[in-house]
Structure 1
Amino acid sequence: MLPGMGAVSTTFMAGVELVRKGKSQPVGSLTQMGTIRLGKRTDARSPLIKKFVPLAELQHLTFGGWDIFKDNAYQSAANAGVLNPQDLEKVKPFLSAIKPMKAAFDHDFVKLIDGPNIKKGKNKYELALQIKEDIVNFRKTSRASRLVTCWCGSTETFVKPEDVHSTPEKFVEAMKSNHPAIAPSMLYAWASVTSGVPFANGAPNLTVDIPAIQK
């Protein structure tokens, strides 16, 4: 699950599908082409990481995400202009079927963009609960056996750790009071980890580097 369906996430999704269709190679992918050395160098034991660790096969991956714009993944990828049109056309049906859920967004943390596909709620806690509901629904509709959330959204305004980040209880109260130190990425992280879903941070945001999320 990908918060932010822009250049980063759509390139990721398109790349996976191109590899699955045999239209490209996973060049640069640690999980697909990387190896791990076992024993001494002279032992010549360097299996592929994907053969050594129980990773999901590319064929088993399914994608969903959130974005402040309503463009599907194909439209977003075309607008981003990272991949050439010829490659995008090969995966157009796949990408076109991936439509973003409404996103939790706070203009105070990302100044230069705004969009219409935004969640509404009386406080940040309500928005986080809506994200948790999205996770439940995606698990059902995708029939995925396990999920992971990876932040692919914009880099947020710098936030210093505060007391509201120190415990899960204080964090929840801060969400309910719309505390300014609670960033949108933190809502996704909290919603994910409290739903039993690992969260990976793909931007230099504070997000998960706080006790409230780590505990």
Structure 2
Amino acid sequence: MLPHTLVSDERRAAAAAAATAPNGVPTPAPTPRIGLMLVGWGGNNGSTLTAALKAHAHQLTWRSADGVHTPNYLGSLTQASTVALGTKSTSHNEKVYVPMKDVLPMLDPKDLVIGGWDISGAPLANAMRRAAVLPWDLQRQVAEFLVDDAATDATSDGARAPLRPLAGIYDADYVALNQRERADHVLPFPGQPWLQMAQIRADIRGFKQKHALDRVIVLWTGNTERCVPLMVGVHDTPRAMFRAMQQNHAEIAPSVLYATAALLEDTPFINGSPQNTLLPGLQTLAQIRGVPLAGDDFKSGQTKLKSVLMDFLVSAGLKPVSLASYNHLGNNDGHNLSSTAQFRSKEVSKRGVVEDVRVAARENFDHAAGPDHIIVIKYMPAVGDSKRAIDEYVSDIFMGGKHTLTTYNVCEDSLLAVPLMIDLVVLMELFQRVKYQTVDADGFQPLHPIASLLSYMLKAPVVPARAAVVNALGPQRRALENILRACVGLQPVNELELENKAYRDF
């Protein structure tokens, strides 16, 4: 039996003691200057994240019909959830929890320096108002802080220049035609991906130098692109990708250019949208350079719930036979997804949630495809960022019966996605500092560049070759919790608690 972790009453948050510890896992303190460059900085997610962190930094309060509010990180795994260290040393039936962010030295989100690109040139304050995600009173107050503190140019009255995105790559072939009206701030060299990628590399270097940053992370939170058809000699190796870029090949998506630029600048890249950005050639490039990649698609509302409920139905011994998912939303993401090619990318991403069910319950199915699964997304401007989601789960049950479970939820799209963005960045930065050593290894090794440990935040996790894809939310969280425990010398989560279940002669 694994040793039981005891926590002393006097030092609940720090005095964890295990009978054995794994090989050393050095995790140095975080470096002081981390930059985050967002692709789609002027969108709902990017402007909301920037404004929220400014509200935290300046301790703003604001009023609504419900009263006075203060900044929080609710919805963030790292900032607002806890980890069970063990049980009290004086009372084995009482567990001790600590905030996840206190288990290891983690980046404080307020310390992030944020920048990025957008095809819309609106200043961040205007983008925030356009998004209409945050309460009006908060928008009013935070707008004055959405300025470039590192800018050398100021107006005659000493005011700082407003935060503005760098010009973004726009290719009308990859996003819906309705995005053309926003594309007033685009990178030059249309149709010349190699030159565009070189400019993105220069932007990353310039941002890092301007703000005296130690490291930068690039996160795609832009429009969903259409998927590219995987082609041998174009997408399968780094060399093939570089050649395709130099030859102006049409099947090199803008997101691939951002990811390639980031890797060549030794900068981690996270894909928060559903398109197949992380091509085989990109994954190979990440492994060659030892730079992390993570994707795909933020798992924030409807799909997160689906990953829990499908796991529940199968774990309960039922046989899910159909899952119908419908949602409508009115933000720019919904506008872009009204185009068939972009919707197809999202549909593929959302379908992955039942993969665990198909594998885990394959003995219950008459065919390999698993339960029927349909997905419908509609654009309805009136609801704005408040996505309406309806799901119907039908399962075969005992003796020929049927069980139907229907859920309806209103998902505040960006207010659920932004905490995930924070978690992805904080954990990506942390796992760059984690190294491990096995008994037969000569020295410490980094974690795998394909950062599948971040799967909890992602709909369609990209994993290393030959690794199993895990979609169920519980196992994804336990994997994160266990790696954090390993880093401080604690055993993996053990819910057996045999000491409370074995017979003892009292």
Bucket of the pairwise TM-score, normalised by the shorter protein = over 0.9
The residue identity in structure 1 corresponding to 2:179 is: I
Give the counterpart of 1:61 among 104, 112, 115.
112
Change (3 A) 1:159 1:43: farther
Structure-2 residue corresponding to 1:113: 179
Residue 126 in 1 paired to residue 191 in 2? no
Query: 1:162-201 maps to which residues of 2 (within 5 A)?
Result: 162-163=231-232, 164-201=234-271
Matched, 1:102 2:167: yes
Q: What is the CA-CA distance between 1:151 and the residue it aligns to?
A: 0.5
Q: What CA deviation, in whole Å up to 9, does each residue of 1:147-182 have, x standing for no partner? A: 111101000112232221110000011111222221
Corresponding position: 1:79 with 2:130: yes
Which blocks of at least 5 consecutive residues in structure 2 are unaligned? Answer: 1-36, 61-70, 148-161, 285-506
Q: Which segment drifts farther, 188-197 or 46-55?
A: 46-55
Higher mean C-alpha displacement, 21-30 vs 38-47 = 38-47
Matched, 1:211 2:277: no
* Amino acid in the other structure paired with 1:144: L
Three-state SS of the structure 2 residue aligned to 1:56 is coil
Matched, 1:38 2:85: yes
Query: Aligned-pair distance for 1:128?
Result: 0.3
Q: Residues of 1 paired with 2:252 and 2:144: CA distance?
A: 37
3-state secondary structure, aligned to 1:63? strand
| Secondary structure of the corresponding residue to residue 12 of structure 1 | helix
Distance 1:205 1:181 in 2: 13
Structure 1: which 4+ aligned runs deviate by more than 4 Å? 39-43
Taking only the aligned residue pairs, the percentage that are identical comes to: 31
Q: Which amino acid aligns with 1:182?
A: I
Higher helix share goes to which structure?
A: 1
Unaligned 5+ segments in structure 1 are none
- Cα deviation for residue 138 of structure 1 reads 0.1
Aligned to 1:3: 39
Query: 1:64 is aligned with what amino acid?
Result: G
Determine the C-alpha separation between the residues in 2 that align with 1:58 and 1:98.
18
How far residue 42 of structure 1 moved from its aligned partner, in angstroms, is 5.1
Question: Aligned pair in 2 of structure 1 residues 43, 136: CA closer, same or farther (>3 Å)?
Answer: farther
Kept after mapping to 2: 8 A contact 1:63/1:98:
no
Contact 2:56–2:110 (Cα < 8 Å) also in 1 = no
Amino acid of the residue matched to residue 150 of structure 1? L
- Name whichever structure is richer in strand by fraction: 2
Q: How far 1:193 moved relative to its partner?
A: 1.2
SS in 2 for 1:148: strand
Shift of 1:19: 2.1
Q: Would you say how many aligned residue pairs link Structure 1 and Structure 2?
A: 214
Deviations 1:87-144 (A, max 9, x none): 1122112224321101111010012212121111261011000000000000011112
From the CA coordinates, give the structure whose radius of gyration is larger: 2
Q: How far did 1:62 drift? A: 0.9
Is 1:19–1:26's contact at 8 Å kept on the other side of the alignment?
no
Counterpart Cα distance in 2 of 1:198 and 1:105: 22
Residue 151, structure 1, aligned to residue 220, structure 2: yes
Q: Which amino acid aligns with 1:46?
A: Y
